Structure 1
Amino acid sequence: MTSISATTPLDSVDPPDTAAPMKRGRARRALASQPKTPLPDLTEKVSFDSHEPIGKQIFRALRQAIFAGEMAPGTPLSEKEVSEMFNVSRQPVREAFIKLVEAGVLQVLPQRGTFVKKISPRQVREGRFIREAIETAVARKAAAAITEAQLDELAANLREQKAAAKANDIAAFLALDEQFHFLIAQSIDCVAAWNTIQDIKAQMDRVRYLSLPDVSPLDLLIRQHARIVSALKAHDPSLAEEAMRAHLREILISLHPIAERNPDWFEADEPERVPLAT
């Protein structure tokens, strides 16, 4: 198995190969003949004045572009092209690529390069299962500890969600959705819980972008959020846990129709031996 390190260019990961050189050459020529998809301009997503490491900013910019569908599955990425886009050395780009591979949204194909990966339905279900375990525990704890000031923050967030939905601003709604879940984790001083699931929910986030607003109407998601806030306001741990679980299982309803509508974006499904939604 080939190991990938921060000093190994992902563009050139070549494990020992005994295949015929002519076959590899034909594959490379076939790939080169395909029309190249231009990358979106992400330069505004990175600030050299920020105290945050540039590699982390590049990782987040690329991840968000993949989540939002700006780079479809199969889109090739090269360290050279991305480093030139951001006017940086290859090292921070390489670090970002490694993290994206670990998150399951990029794949390295030997002899070919690095590409945006298709969505794995199984990984979506697995990510949701882990996220549900963490966030239902957070919601239960928050119901006992949340303050009036923190409830006011959640209520303000809900109002902004409604405004974004009315304006059909999907990007704004999703940002507010992220903040909503972050605020609940923050209410129990456990932001680490939210940080932990960021990569775990990578495949879920890609499906969310594809599902809105047709398959998962914004009004439905807002009602689910409102139910969570009501349970927190009532300081009812069981109800808060139930409301959070029902909300996070919404993706199980939308996953199949979204995959049917966008077959080129999904890998073939591999059902788990033990159903994770029970």
Structure 2
Amino acid sequence: MNQTTQAADLSLPIIRQHTQPTVADQVFDVLQQRILTLELPPQTKISETDTAKKMGVSRQPVREAFKRLAKLGFLEIRPQSGTTVSLISEDAVLRARFIRTALEVKTCRTACETYSDADVQVLQTHITEQRAAIAAKDRDRFHALDDHFHSDICNLAGVPFVWEMIQESKAHMDRIRMLSLDTSSQQLALGEHIAIVEAITARSADDAEAAMTRHLSRIVVLVEDVKLQRHSFFQDTDA
């Protein structure tokens, strides 16, 4: 008699998929945005209890959101001294830039080989939306559209995991971008995005690689500019 259990014999529960964001997701999104916009600047103390009370939720989803923010580098959780918004790490910014350049340059080359005309049109739509955000002087929307543009380059190239990897390392880079995101820098970023799209549209892998490299290299200059204005927001590199 065969005693081996077959997969078909197992009784498993039906998993209900929830398309709406969880409470923890919503807490995470709100706090991340407040940190990016400096409503919660570096070294601000923040507590689970106070946050839960202000947002009208229990501590559990707040705790989950705090852990996610800490993993991404936005918060420092110290059991003995509490939780604070992290200082910006210049080293972390440059590491993120290295990772992004390596991954996104390869993704651009892949896009030149695999994109359909419909995929290119998606990127053209991003350019139109970014222009509208600049015209409306909506800095937060431009930042969100910037991220969406880069994520779609990865998604449409069939490598969505690339953007997932990038997100794990770019928290400090995001704050530099927000601190430097005035109308002039938005126009510059838009021009760089246009160059990337034009290269992908022409299926020129070398031009796409060069355009993406130039675009991501600008963060080095932005770090120095922001440090001059907001030095107290940065970790002491000599520490």
Bin the TM-score by the shorter chain.
0.7 to 0.9
Give the Cα–Cα distance (whole angstroms) in 1 for the partners of residues 24 and 79 of structure 2.
24
Counterpart in 2 of 1:234? 202
Q: Structure 2 length normalisation: TM-score?
A: 0.87
Counterpart in 2 of 1:115? 84
Counterpart in 1 of 2:236? 268
Give the Cα–Cα distance (whole angstroms) in 2 for the partners of residues 105 and 249 of structure 1.
22
The structure where helix makes up a greater share of residues is 2
Contact 1:207 1:258 in 2 (8 A): yes
2:186 pairs, out of 200, 218, 222, with 218
What secondary structure is seen at the aligned counterpart in 1 of 2:76? strand
Counterpart in 1 of 2:74? 105
Higher mean displacement: 185-194 or 132-141: 185-194
Instruction: Look up the equivalent residue of 1:69 and give its one-letter code.
Output: L
- 1:51 CA drift (Å): 2.6
> Equivalent residues in 2 for 1:54-93 (5 A)?
54-93=23-62
Give the Cα–Cα distance (whole angstroms) in 1 for the partners of residues 211 and 223 of structure 2.
20
Q: Structure 1 length normalisation: TM-score?
A: 0.75
> Percent same amino acid at aligned positions?
36
Give the Cα–Cα distance (whole angstroms) in 2 for the partners of residues 120 and 231 of structure 1.
33
> Equivalent residues in 2 for 1:29-178 (5 A)?
51-178=20-147
After superposition, the C-alpha distances for 1:96-140 in whole angstroms (9 at most, x for unaligned) are 111211111111245321111110111110111111111111111
What secondary structure is seen at the aligned counterpart in 2 of 1:249? helix
Give the Cα–Cα distance (whole angstroms) in 2 for the partners of residues 55 and 116 of structure 1.
18
- 1:160 CA drift (Å): 1.6
Structure 1 stretches of at least 4 aligned residues deviating more than 3 Å after TM superposition? none
Give the Cα–Cα distance (whole angstroms) in 2 for the partners of residues 170 and 204 of structure 1.
16
> Equivalent residues in 2 for 1:184-195 (5 A)?
184-195=153-164
Contact 1:121 1:270 in 2 (8 A): no
Contact 1:122 1:270 in 2 (8 A): no
- 1:150 CA drift (Å): 1.4
Instruction: Look up the equivalent residue of 1:153 and give its one-letter code.
Output: V
Counterpart in 1 of 2:217? 249
Consecutive unaligned residues in structure 1, runs of 5 or more: 1-48, 272-278
Aligned residues: 222
Change (3 A) 1:95 1:167: same
